[in-house]
Structure 1
Amino acid sequence: MNKTKFSLEQLTVAYQLLRWTVLVTPVAVVVGSLVALFLWLLEVVTQLRWQHEWLLFGLPLAGILIYWLYRLGGKQADRGNNLVMEEIHQPGGGVPARMAPLVLLTTIITHLFGGSAGREGTAVQIGGSMAGLIGKKMGLSPEDIRILLMTGIAAGFGAVFGTPLTGAVFALEVLAIGVMRYDALIPCLIASVFADIVCSAWGIHHTHYSITYISQSFIKEIPFIHLDLWLLGKVIVCGVAFGLSSFLFATLMHNIKHNANAYIKIPWLIPVAGGVVIIILSYIAGTTDYLGLGVSSKSSDGISILAAFDANSSVNDWSWLWKLVFTAITLGMGFKGGEVTPLFFIGATLGHTLALWLGAPVDLFAGLGFIAVFAGATNTPIACTLMGVELFGTNHVLYFAVACFTAYYFSGHAGIYSAQRLEVRKLR
């Protein structure tokens, strides 16, 4: 009897795996292709902005255009990632298919004219809207559409960063603080892996990061201590700083959005004001390196994520704060794009600065900041630890975990996603 029950259970599992592979494949193909298009367009407009710096002065007008595009065709699509997450928590009106072209177009406009934004939000919204559309076309049940929306998040995230394992776990972890939904584990992994393959098949190449530092035991005479304990202490200290910077970013962005809506009574003037402030700040900072994605810079000696891994680069003590302010204003005042790549910039440059202050390896601490600030702002420490492994290798995985987990706790319960539910408090 038990043997028969066991066999039937395994057959059911095999059937569900096959079924979800079939359901998820079209999502992965569509999302991977759209993300590839998005990344290609992003590179094109970034090059255009570098060649024609006067485009920055069009940012206020670009803000008006973005506002009216959403006013005319967006409806609920303006709620972005939060709408996708809310539909997973509690299915309602669904995620509109128009969200994908709207967010893709408006993110490209934001980057063309110099807004400081990222790409994760766009990829996740593309994934969610396409998954919702495909689910409806297939006539799936609300519960199946809920899982399919999670695979859309995984596909978008995995494809846009070239980190399929991180994408799968991120989709499970980001929905609620303190819990993970394992019912979508395999579908999310399938979607993320396939979407990344499809995106790469279109000829998209992701940025390569490397950490050359080789860790050694601090006390070589004690054979069972394989860590540099002094370095580990520095990692913990920096993890606290990374978590606090995550809290600062999320709080500042939400406050800017709230106050802009409260004090600027004409809605389309909000992005206009934001665009003007960004222009002014660019002149005060004396550089345009804090505009756009920030992965690389127009000049070889500019400030960027890649530069943060070099101890001799032009990254300064306040580079992280400049990028934090630029991005909080851009996204808080109505422009479109993601938060994650700017969080990479904030973390990497803060890690660079702290490493110089503490006498620690710059490339390692830039990498730690890269993932830990993201972990604190999104409350996804496990996904971010895995991202460290996928981007930088396994040599420093314990330092990755310590930095991400510490940042997770010290960021408090603030986060960049208002729809993220609090299921288990970080401290009782």
Structure 2
Amino acid sequence: MSFYSDLKERFPGSSRLAIILLQVAPIAACIGSAVALFLWLLDKATTTRQQHTWLLFLLPLGGLLIHFLYKSIGKNAEKGNNLLIEEIHEPAADIPKRMAPLVLFSTIVTHIFGGSAGREGTAVQMGGSISAAMGGWFKTTDKESLQTLLTAGIAAGFGAVFGTPVTGAIFAMEVLTIGRIRYDALLPCIFAAIIANYTCSAWGIHHTQYHILFKNTLQYFSADSFHLLWKIVVSAIAFGLAAFLFADLTSFLKKTFQQFIKIDWFIPVTGAIIIIALTYILGTDDYLGLGVTSPNPNGVSIVNAFNEGGVTYFSWFWKLLFTAITLSSGFKGGEVTPLFFIGAALGNALAILFHAPVDLFAALGFIAVFAAATNTPIACTVMGVELFGGEHILFFALACFIAYFFSGHSGIYSSQKIGVAKLGSPYAGEKNLSESFSRRGKVISSIVEKLRRKKNN
């Protein structure tokens, strides 16, 4: 009998939380170490690609490698974050141990050859895979404990990869079901996120620091404050629509690739060729990789989006398109860092248009597009505080909440349940986002078919 099994017998009932916390501690430490290794490798991969631009031409080969790896040994690991969400809703011991090393390696391949992707998906999948594996070693078999361990694994991975432990804890509980939060996992999640973040930092990993120089000297309910607030409201609506566009375009492109390219290994090759062509058409490689910083001081990046003139009016769209093509054609990584890029760049453009503070609006876009695309407005409001300070929390909340509603029943995680429908939509209950995607797809197909028939007649 294992040590943890013996504890369960000696201290039943109320001791369940204590036992889970004892299990979470080593799990979170392992996840933090794995994330540290991943971030170190990712930094090396990004630097290598920036120094050797010819590596972009090997992106089709990288896509082939990833495709055949997942086809031969990946099995259900191909579903990525959606598999974790499904497993938490209905535990079936279906998360393979190979998920962590597979997604780590595949993400590094994506980035070293120039794919436009992020890192959150990789960290979260590693967190879930490590939690599932170590939960098996601890002989954790009851459904509730497994669900809690997996949720804590997501919190640990997210908190460590961005250096935002409180956000990681809330995100893990909020992302599962739209409109509902699993408070029963609160302590294990914050415990896991703090330990993982500390462990990652102990390995010498440092996260990008962002700053808002704008000082809010406005009096609430004054004419000047309302003048700024209406600009934030309009921008938040745009952030929500941008998130909707990203999620639906990625889903649409994936289905289009599968429909028109019958040889499955040729899908990543096609996506890679499109990425290479767009890079040379635009004459810049700023939309490849993470996009957090640029080797060119005047290049387009997340950091530069906080400065006036740091991005163009359409930088947000180009990053959206590059990332949608990369992920829909089978490359690995995450969506969140590209969403930060999209949001910060769009916020910059709107600030210039509205004559508003550029750094504030870049920060609002940074968190609000992410909130809308993941349906986690509370977690993203807290992320604003963790990354930028608490001075502008009212603006953070307003932007995230409005963007969340205007993204509709859309999102980057199709396995999310719809617990409480947005804006009185009838599609509540146990339905998930994949059904919403399917419904919209049928509507679009119907419209296209009617237009085609009208044209023929």
TM norm. shorter chain > 0.5? yes
CA distance in structure 2 between the partners assigned to 1:263 and 1:92 by the alignment: 34
Q: Which residue of 1 aligns with 2:389?
A: 393
| Secondary structure, counterpart of 1:216 in structure 2 | coil
Letter in 2 for 1:122: T
Equivalent position of 1:35 in the other structure: 35
SS at match of 1:117: coil
Separation in 2, partners of 1:360, 1:421: 37
Matches within 5 A, 1:304-319: 304-313=301-310, 315-319=311-315
1:405 positional shift: 0.3
2:422 alignment partner, SS class = coil
Query: TM-score if structure 2 supplies the norm length?
Result: 0.88
Which residue is equivalent to 1:74? Answer: 74
Matching residue of 1:110: 110
Residue deviations 1:302-327 (CA, integer Å, cap 9, x gap): 000000001132x1000000000000
- 1:217/1:226 contact within 8 Å kept: no
Q: 1:236: which partner in 2?
A: 233
Please name the residue that 1:119 is paired with. 119
Does residue 324 of structure 1 match 2:320? Answer: yes
Distance 1:237 1:229 in 2: 12
Question: What does 1:343-382 correspond to in 2, within 5 Å?
Answer: 343-382=339-378
Measure, in 1, the Cα distance between the counterparts of 2:219 and 2:277.
Answer: 48
- Deviations along 1:4-27, one digit per CA (max 9) or x if unpaired, are xxxxxxx99974443222110111
Matches within 5 A, 1:253-272: 253-272=250-269
Q: Output the CA distance in 1 between the equivalents of 2:154 and 2:337.
A: 16
Q: How far apart are the structure 1 equivalents of 2:384 and 2:223?
A: 20
Summarize deviations over 1:377-424 as a string: whole Å, max 9, x none.
Answer: 000000000000000000000000000000000000100001001111
Deviation digits for residues 44-72 of structure 1 (CA, Å, limit 9, x no counterpart) = 01000001000000001100000011111
1:12–1:136 distance in 2 versus 1, CA, 3 Å: closer
1:60/1:317 Cα in 2 relative to 1: closer, same or farther (>3 Å)?
same
Cα offset, 1:278, TM superposition: 0.1
Instruction: Name the CA distance, whole Å, in 2 between partners of 1:125 and 1:107.
Output: 11
How far residue 161 of structure 1 moved from its aligned partner, in angstroms, is 0.1
C-alpha contact 1:168 1:192 (8 A) present in aligned 2: yes
Deviations 1:319-340 (A, max 9, x none): 0000000000000000000000
* Distance in 2, Cα, partners of 1:259 & 1:136: 39
In 1, Cα distance between equivalents of 2:283 and 2:243: 25
Return the letter of the residue paired with 1:386. Answer: V
CA distance in 2, matches of 1:146, 1:53: 44
CA deviation profile, 1:238-291 (whole Å, cap 9, x unmatched)? 000000000000000000111111111111100000000000000111100000
Whether the 8 Å contact between 1:99 and 1:129 is mirrored in structure 2 is yes
* Residues 334-385 of structure 1 deviation map (CA, whole Å, 9 limit, x = unaligned): 0000000000000000000000000000000000000000000000000000
Which residue number in structure 2 is paired with residue 177 of structure 1?
178
Q: Which runs of 4+ in 1 moved over 4 A?
A: 11-14, 224-227
Kindly indicate whether the alpha-carbon contact (under 8 Å) linking 1:216 and 1:226 is maintained by their aligned counterparts in 2: no
* Aligned match of 1:251: 248
1:414-425 to structure 2, matched below 5 A, reads: 414-425=410-421
The amino acid of 2:156's aligned partner reads A
* TM-score, normalised relative to structure 1: 0.94
Aligned counterpart, 1:194: 195
> Is it true that 1:291 corresponds to 2:288 in the alignment?
yes
Partner of 1:389, secondary structure, is helix
Alpha-carbon contact 1:379-1:408 (below 8 Å) kept:
yes
Distance 1:218 1:139 in 2: 57
Once residues 146 and 420 of structure 2 are traced to their aligned partners in structure 1, the CA distance between those partners, rounded to angstroms, is 25
Paired position in structure 2 for 1:97: 97
Shift of 1:212: 0.8
Counterparts of 1:402 and 1:286, CA distance in 2:
37
Partner of 1:274: 271
User: Are the counterparts in 1 of residues 155 and 172 from structure 2 also a CA contact under 8 Å?
Assistant: yes
- Cα distance in 2 for partners of 1:310, 1:61 equals 37
How far apart, CA to CA, are the structure 2 residues paired with 1:411 and 1:229? 24
CA distance in 1 between counterparts of 2:13 and 2:157 reads 26
Identify the residue that residue 3 of structure 1 maps to in structure 2: none
> How many matched pairs?
413
RMSD: 1.5
AA partner of residue 155 (structure 1): A
CA distance in 2, matches of 1:218, 1:167: 32
Match of residue 136 from structure 2: 136
Structure 2 counterpart of 1:62: 62
Greater Cα shift, 228-237 or 47-56? 228-237
- Contact persistence 2:20–2:145 (CA under 8 A): no
The separation in 2 between residues aligned to 1:187 and 1:227, in whole angstroms, is 43
AA paired with 1:342? P
Residues 1:333 and 2:333 aligned together: no
Describe the SS at the equivalent of 1:74: helix
Contact kept in structure 2, 1:218 and 1:230, CA below 8 Å: no
Q: Deviations over 1:62-116 (max 9, x none)?
A: 0000001111110000000000100001112421110000000000000000000
How much does 1:218 deviate? 5.6
Correspondence for 1:45: 45
Q: 1-side partners of 2:216 and 2:161: how far apart?
A: 30
* One-letter amino acid of the counterpart of residue 216, structure 1: T
**C-alpha deviation, 1:427, in angstroms:** 1.2
- CA deviations over 1:209-251 (Å, ceiling 9, x no partner): 00010012268xxxx7598221111110100000000000000
Partners of 2:99 and 2:125 within 8 A in 1:
yes
User: Percent identity at matched positions?
Assistant: 59
Distance (Å, rounded) in 2 between the aligned partners of 1:278 and 1:231: 38
Letter in 2 for 1:264: I
Cα separation, 2, equivalents of 1:148 and 1:290: 36
